Chain A
Amino acid sequence: MPGQSAVRFLLGNQPREIADISPTMTVLEYLRQIERMTGTKEGCAEGDCGACTVAIAECKDGSLDYKACNACIMFVPFLHGKQLITVEHLKNHKSGRLHPAQQLMVDQHGSQCGFCTPGFVMSLFAMYHNRCDTSRTAIDDALAGNLCRCTGYAPIVRAAKQLLHMPVDDEFSANEQSTLVALSQLHAPERGNEQPDNASLHLQHTGGSYHAPQTLPELGRILQENPASCIVAGATDVGLWVTKERRELRALVYTGAVKKMRQITITDRAIEIGAAATVAEAMETLSEYYPSLEELFRRYGSVQVRNLATIGGNVANGSPIGDSLPALVALNAELKISRANASRTVSAEDFFIDYGQQDIAPGEFLERIDIPLPVAGQEFRIYKVSKRFHQDISAVCGAYSVVQDSGALHTVRVCYGGMAAIPRRASRCEQVLAGAGLTDDSIEQAKLALREDFAPISDFRGSAEYRTVVAGNLLERFANDLTGKQIPSVWEVQYA
C-alpha cells in the first residue's frame, strides 16, 4: 500500500523512525522498555491516574499545539508525525535549570512521594503552554486527570496558579520554529515511495498490522479488505482492552489521520462532528449551541482523556454509561455509517440495539455524527451524577430536550444513561410530559412513569433504587430549571 511504513516522530528533539514495533505497544511501554526512560510512571494502565502523562506537540495553524496525554493507553503509532515530550526533556539542556513547571513544584512543596509528580509536571507544562484562566475551577479541570495520594493537592494548585501568571518563555517556545521544521521533515517521502504526498501509515509486524489512512476512500477500502479489523480513534477504551484484558488485536485501523473525519462543520441544519474529532475539539462548539453540555464536558474523562477520546468512539462502542450518548439520543442525532462506496444514515436512538450490540456491520465505519441545531423554543438540559465530580463514570445521566410553545411541550425527548443496557429513551415519561407540561403534578406523574420505563441494575456505581430515585429527581431539576426556579449548583456554592 502506498504511504509510509515506519512510525516517525520526535522524541524530544531527536527524530525516531520505528518500523519494527507491535502496533499495540503503548507509548509508556516504549519509553520505559525500549528507550529506558523511566521518568514517566505507570500508576493504573487505564488512563485514570495520570502518572504517565506526557505532552504531545504537533503543528496546528503554523504553530505548535501541546496536549497532555496518557502514555499508558496510547499506542506508539499514534505518535506518527508528532513530538513526544516527557518529564526528562523539561530541564534546560545547557544550564540544567529546572523548567518553571518543575521549579514551582519544588518551591511549593508539591511533591512528597514523587511518583505522581512527573505526570503533574507534564500536565502543568501543557497548561503553561495552553493557558487557562487562573481560577481554581479552571485549574481543577486541568488537573482532574492527575491523582495524588500524598499532598491533598493544595501545593500543586498553588504551583499551577503561579505558573499561569508567568509568561510563556521556555526552551520549547524559543525553539518552536526549529521544532516545526523538524516535524515537517518527518513527512519527507521515504525512499522508493512513489506517492510522496501520501503520508498514510501502514505497519506490518508479527504483533499485528496497523493502517492509518488519510482519506475516506482509503479507509473504506482497507476495511472492505480487512472487515475484521478493529477500528480505533483515541484508544481511550480500546487501549484498556490491551492493557487490562490483553486482548489480541491483530489488525488496527486508525481513523484519526482521515482529515475529513476530524472536521467539525456547522451547516444550516446540523452540527456535523467527524467521528474522529476528539472530545476536546468538539466540546466547545457543542457547548456553544447547547450550553448545558459545558458542565458535562468538564466531567467527561479528563484533559488527557478528552485530548484523545472521540465522540465517534464513544458512540461506536455503545457503552450504556458513555457520557455523550444520552445527549445524542435526546437531541436526535443522526449517524452517518459508511463503507467503501456507500453510506447510510441511522438515528442515534436506533443505533444502540442491546448491550454491546450496535447497528454497524463489519466493513462499515462511523463517519460522522450530525446533531440538529437548536430550534426556536427548544430547551435542552443534561445532568450527570457520579461519586466524584471529576473523571468518574456516571451512575445516572439524564438528557432532556423539549420544545416549548406557549406553555405546551412538544418534541419531548428524554434519554437516560446508566438505567438500562443501552442509553435509552423514557417513552412513558415522555408521554406524560408531552401531554401535561411541566407542572408539579405532571412531574410527579412523569417520575412514576420512569419507574415503568426502566428497571436498572445494582452495581458499584449505584443501586437500582438509587438510580431510580435520582432519575426522577433529575426530572425535577429539569422542571425547576425551565420554570425559572433557578437553584444554585452544589458545585458552585460558596461557604457560609
Chain B
Amino acid sequence: MLDRKKDTLTPAIVHQPIAHDSAARHVSGDAVYIDDIPEPRELLHIWPALSPHAAATITAMDTEAVMHQPGVVAVVDANSVPGHNDCSPTIGDDPVFAEGRVHFAGQVLFAAAAESELQARLACRAAAIEYEIEQPILTIEQALAQESYVLPSSTISRGDPEQAIEDSPHQIEGTIRCGGQDHFYLEGQAAMAVPQEGGDMVVYSSTQHPSEVQMLVAKVLDRPLNSITVEVRRMGGAFGGKETQAAQWACIAAIVADRTARPAKLRLDRDIDMLATGKRHDFLFNYRVGFGHDGRISGLAVEMASRCGYSADLSMPINDRALLHIDNAYYLDNVTATTKLCRTNTVSNTAFRGFGGPQGMFCIERIMDEIACHLQKDPLAVRRRNYYGKRTRNIAPYGMKITDFILHELTQELVESSDYRTRRQRIRRMNKSDSTILRGISLTPVKFGISFTMTHLNQASALVHVYTDGSIHLNHGGTEMGQGLFIKVAQVVADEFSVPLERVKITETNTSRVPNTSATAASSGSDVNGMAAKAAARTIKNRLAEVAARSFGVNQREVLFHKESVIAGRSQVSFQELVGMAHRARVPLSATGHYKTPKINWDRQNMTGHPFYYFGYGAAVSEVALDCLTGEYRMTRIDILHDAGQSLNPAVDLGQIEGGFVQGAGWLTSEELWWDDRGALRTHAPSTYKIPASGDVPEAFNVEIWQRGRNVEKTIYRSKAIGEPPLMLCISVFSAISDAISSVSDYRQLPVIDAPATPERVLMAIESMRLRGA
C-alpha cells in the first residue's frame, strides 16, 4: 500500500544532487551563448570607440571618415538615438554615447557597424576627435577633498556611540581600504538585435535583467515596451556584472538595427569589456571603536566612503547594503555608520556578488582582529563574544529582530571539524622557529541578509504549460548564469506534478512570456522563481485533480499524484492520460504563478524596518603560508561550513559555496585594479588582472553544507539562497594573512595592510612592521 502522507510530502527530485541541466551541452560545446546563435543574414557587426581621457570636453568629433572605411554601413553616436540617449538603471545619468563631455577613460563615444567585426574595429580609428582635457578626480580621497558625490550620504545609528566609545576601557581608531573587483565573467558582454515588422525589435542579450534591457531599449528607440522582446537562454557568467551593465550594448545594437533595418551584433572583447563596464566598489573605511576587557564592542562609529565612478548606477542600494552589513554577525548596541558616495572620473561601479555586503563585513572583521590583537586574545573568542544573542542582543542596528541566528552552533561545529585550536597553537609555535615562512589562521563568520532592500523588487512570475502529451514547458522570469537556477526550479515543478525531471522543458528567459521581472540578483533567484513556478504548477495540478475527481467519482482531496501516475480512489491513470482527459474536458492546461516575498518592509528615509526575509549563514577557517622574502603566499587549507537551509540541490549549492569563496579570495588577494595617474585602467585583461587559478586553491579544501540547516521561514522547501553569502567567507583569508604578518611583531601589532593583499602589500607590511619593531 501506498503511504499517502509520506509520499506526497517527501519530494523525490528536490533536495537531490542533480547535475546542471546544461552540463552535457557545456562539455560538448553545444550550449549556445549570444555569440553562438546562428547569425542571421545581413548581420552587421558593431565596434564601440572609447574615450582615452578620464575627464574632457569634446570640442570636435568628426566621424565622417569612419563612414567611408571598407565595409562600414553605419556610424552611430549621441545624435543617432531616436529616443533618449540614456541607459541608466536609476537616475538618468548614463548616456549611451558621450554627449559633449567624457567622464571616464573607456566611455563610449560612438560605434561603427560594418559587414565584419574587424572592419568595424579598424574603421573606428579613422575618427577625428578633439578634446579639452580636464583634471580628473580619480581616487576616493580626491573626491572626499572636493566633496564630489553622486548621491547624498546615508546613516544608520542607534544608541549613543560617541559616549559609549568614550566610556569604554579600550578605544581603537583605524583606517582600511578594500579594492574593487572586475567580474571577469568568461563570456564578455554581448547583444544581438533583430528588427521585426512594424518597427518591433527582438534583442538577444547576455543579461541578468531582461526586463530592464527591454525598458532601456524601448527608451532609446522611443517605442512602447510591447514592441521590444528580450531573450536570454544563458550567460557565460555574470556575478552582478550583467545586471545593469548589459543594457548599453543591447541599446547600441538596437539603435544600429533600427537605423539600418538589419540585424546587428555587439560583442565586447575582453579589453573593452574591462575598460567600459562597472566593477565592485572599492571602499575606504575610517572607524573608531570602544570595547570592554572581554572584547565586547560598546560603541562603534564608521565612515565608509566608496568610489562610485562617474554616475549613480546602483551605488545607492549597494552602499545601503554595505551599511546593513557593518554588523555582520555582531550585536552593536551603540553604533553610527555613514556612507559617502564618491563621484570620480572612473567607470561607474555596479553590482557584484554581495552588493556592498562584502565591503561592510570586511570592515567589521578588521575591527574584530584589531580588538583581539589589542587585548591579546584569540580573535575567534572576540568574535563569539560579540555574536548576536538568541533572546537578548538580537536586534540589528536597523531595528530588525534576528530570529534565525545559528552561528553559535555552526561555529562550534566548524571549530571542531577544522581542528582550529590545535592548528592555531601549532602555527604560533612554528612561526617562532621559522623565520622565512610565516603562517596564519583565521575563522570568520558570515550573516547575509536575503531580499532586495527595495521591497517591490521581491516578486516573481512564472508561466507553465502542460501539453497534451504530458510534456511540460517551464517559463519564469529568472535568468541562468551558471548558478543552477533553471535546474532547481525544474526540480520543484517536476515534484509538484510527480513526474520525472525529463518531462520538464527548461526554456530561455523571454520578456514576452513572463513580463515585468526583477533582475536575477540578490541571491533571490530560486526563492522567488521557485515559488512562482510552484504556484503556476499547483494551479494546473488542481485543475487536473478536479478532472480526475469528477471522472472517477471521488473527492478531489483523494486524488494523488504519484510517480507519473494519478490515483483517484481505486482508479489509476497515467499523468499523460489525465492530461488528455482534461484537454478533452476543455480544461486549460496553462497557468501563471506569482510570488511576493512576505514579511519585508523598509523605511529608507530612517533606515529602519525589516529589509530581509531571513539570513544566510556560514563560517570559514582559512590557513595561509607566506614567504617573507617576497611576500608571495598560498592558502594551505580551507574549511567551510555553510548553511543552505534544506538545500534544493546540494550539488549546485556546493558549487556555489566553493566558487563563491574562491572568487572572494581573488578579490582580497591577487585581483588588483590599477589605474595610472591619468585615470586609465592598466589591468584590463587576464595577462595583467589575476583571478585565482587552479593552483591557488589548496588541496585541503573542505567544504560542507550544514546538515542541520533548515530555513525558519517558509521558503521553497525550506531552502536558503546561496548565490552571494559564500563569497564573504573569503574574509577569513585576508584575516589569516594579517595574522601571519602579525607574528613578525610576536602578535603585538596587527599589520597596516589594505586589500587586495598582493605579495607587494604583504612584503611591505612585513618590512614596515620590522622597522617599527626595530
Mark A residues whose CB is within 8 Å of B. Answer: 32, 36-46, 48-49, 51, 86-88, 90-91, 98, 101-103, 105-107, 109-118, 121, 136-137, 139-141, 143-144, 146-157, 244, 246, 383, 385-393, 395, 459-463, 465-466, 469-470, 473-474, 476-477, 480, 487-491, 493-496
Contacts and interface: CB of A to CB of B under 8 A. Distances in A.
Contact of B632 (A121, A389, A391): A389
A105 B672 CA distance: 31
Nearest to B634: A490
Contacts of A244: 271, 685
Interface string B620-642: 00010111011111101100000
A48 B687 contact: yes
Contacts of A391: 693
B695 A389 contact: yes
Given A91-B28, A114-B31, A152 B661 contact: yes
Nearest to B630: A385
8 contacts: A112-B237, A149-B185, A149-B659, A152-B655, A244-B271, A391-B693, A476-B629, A496-B430
A111 to B, nearest CB: 4
A246 B234 CA distance: 30
A495 B236 CA distance: 34
A396 to B, nearest CB: 8
A111 B27 contact: yes
Interface in B646-665: 651-652, 654-655, 658-663
Contacts of A388: 670, 690, 692-693, 696
A88 B630 contact: no
B29 A87 contact: yes
Contact of A151 (B437, B637, B659): B659
Contact of B691 (A98, A139, A147): A147
Contact of B760 (A36, A462, A476): A462
Contacts of B630: 383, 385, 470, 473-474
B22 interface: yes
A154 B652 CA distance: 13
Nearest to A140: B695
Contacts of A140: 693-695
B664 to A, nearest CB: 10
B236 A115 contact: yes
Interface string B721-763: 0000000000000000000000000000000000000111001
Contacts of B634: 389, 490-491, 493
A118 B27 CA distance: 6
B26 interface: yes
Given A38-B35, A113-B236, A114-B25, A149 B270 contact: no
Interface in B329-376: none
B698 interface: yes
A325 B38 CA distance: 46
Contact of B441 (A147, A153, A488, A496): A496
A38 B36 contact: yes
Contacts of A390: 693-696
Nearest to B674: A460
Contacts of B692: 152-153, 388
Given A86-B29, A115-B187, A109 B691 contact: no
Interface of B: 17, 19-20, 22-33, 35-36, 38, 118, 121-122, 183-188, 234-239, 269-271, 423, 426-427, 430, 434, 436-437, 439, 441, 481-484, 623, 625-627, 629-634, 636-637, 651-652, 654-655, 658-663, 670, 672, 674, 682-683, 685-688, 690-701, 703, 758-760, 763-764, 767
A149 B629 contact: no
A116 B186 contact: yes
Identify which of B625, B683, B767 gathers the most chain A CB atoms within 10 Å of its CB: B625
Given A488-B437, A490-B633, A389 B696 contact: yes
B626 A46 contact: no
Contacts of B25: 114
A45 B699 CA distance: 30
A42 B270 CA distance: 9
Contact of B636 (A386, A465, A495): A495
A493 B623 CA distance: 12
A43 B661 CA distance: 22
Contacts of A137: 695
Contacts of B239: 149
Nearest to B423: A496
A140 to B, nearest CB: 4
A395 to B, nearest CB: 7
A109 B19 contact: yes
Given A149-B659, A470-B631, 12 more contacts: A37-B29, A39-B29, A87-B27, A113-B186, A113-B236, A115-B237, A146-B694, A155-B655, A393-B688, A460-B683, A466-B631, A496-B427
A44 B234 CA distance: 19
Given A151-B655, A246-B122, A469-B767, A393 B687 contact: yes
B639 to A, nearest CB: 10
A466 B637 contact: no
A155 B650 CA distance: 14
Contacts of A462: 760
A151 B186 contact: no
Nearest to B29: A39
B28 A109 contact: no
Contacts of B20: 109, 111-112, 114
Given A113-B482, A114-B31, A460-B672, A157 B694 contact: yes
A112 B186 CA distance: 11
A149 B663 CA distance: 7
A485 B436 CA distance: 11
Contacts of B27: 87, 98, 101-103, 105-106, 110-111, 117-118, 121
Across chains A and B, which 4 residue pairs bring their CB atoms closest together, nearest first?
A39-B29, A113-B482, A115-B236, A114-B26
B23 A149 contact: no
B426 A496 contact: yes
B581 to A, nearest CB: 36
Contacts of B441: 496
B184 A149 contact: yes
Contact of A149 (B652, B691, B763): B691
Contact of B690 (A114, A392, A474): A392
Nearest to A243: B269
A219 to B, nearest CB: 30
A76 to B, nearest CB: 15
Contacts of A147: 184, 186, 686, 691, 693
B694 A144 contact: yes
A469 B35 CA distance: 47
A45 B270 contact: yes
A136 B700 CA distance: 10
